[in-house]
Amino acid sequence: MEKSGKSPLGQLVMFTLCLALAGSIVATMHYYTIDLPKQHSAQPPENTICKTELCRFYEGCIKACWAKSPQYWNDCFDECESHGCHV
């Protein structure tokens, strides 16, 4: 029976390096084919919560409420919410 030139420890090291290299290649392929396109297609959020005219009215109404005295806040907020747009 002939002995191979490599020790069992050397074979284990080579197996581990090959496995790490294969994992790195698979991870790189996954990144470029799946993750990167999703990042490019994602859009940042806009700086507004509502886009409808009613919601813009509501936002303006809330700002006007904050400008009033604190004793009128609850009534003012209730009036804003009675218009049907809740942010």
Domain spans in the chain, listed from the N-terminal domain onward: 1-42, 46-87
Residue pointed to by tokens 């790490």: 20
Give the pLDDT confidence of 2-40 residue by residue, as tens digits. 566 789 999 999 999 999 999 999 999 999 999 888 887
pLDDT at residue number 49: 52
Residue pointed to by tokens 């904050």: 66
Can you tell me the distance from the alpha carbon of 62 to that of 5, in angstroms, rounded to the nearest whole number?
81
Residue pointed to by tokens 């392929």: 29
pLDDT at residue number 37: 86
Q: Using CA atoms in the order 46, 50, 56, 58, what is the torsion angle rounded to 10 degrees?
A: -130
Which is higher by pLDDT, 12 or 55?
12
